[in-house]
Amino acid sequence: MVRNKNGTVKKGTVLNPKGRPKGTPNKTTAELKELIKTFVESEIEEAENLLIELTPKERLDILCKLLPYVLPKQTELISDSDRTVTINFKE
């Protein structure tokens, strides 16, 4: 029996053995990523000129929006004891 009593598939059961192997990226996703990469590469040359035309406030706003892609997100740690806790962020 392939299914449990509640109708769900038992863990480790493959219903379509000829399907895409686990971990293989979706073809459409890979094509879309390549298309976006090509678009970004073509626009990046113009980005510097566009940034120069912005006001300092607008440039700062863009910088703040881009920071999460460069720096790890910090988390607040609240401790109710007197112990010292060290937090390391992945790079």
Q: What pLDDT, in 10s, does the model give residues 23-43?
A: 787 888 889 999 999 998 888
Residue 85's pLDDT is 66
Range of the domain at 62: 27-69
In the predicted structure, residue 81 carries a pLDDT above the cut 90: no
Residue 1's pLDDT is 62
Asked, for residue 89, whether it belongs to a domain, the answer is no
Overall number of domains in the chain: 1
Asked, for residue 37, whether it belongs to a domain, the answer is yes
Asked, for residue 16, whether it belongs to a domain, the answer is no
Residue 7's pLDDT is 83
In the predicted structure, residue 18 carries a pLDDT above the cut 90: no
Is this model's pTM higher than 0.75 or not? no
Amino acid identity, position 75: T
Sign of the torsion formed by the C-alpha atoms of 48, 49, 51 and 55: positive
Cβ–Cβ under 8 Å, residues 53 and 46: no
The structure tokens listed for 91 are 């790079």
Asked, for residue 75, whether it belongs to a domain, the answer is no
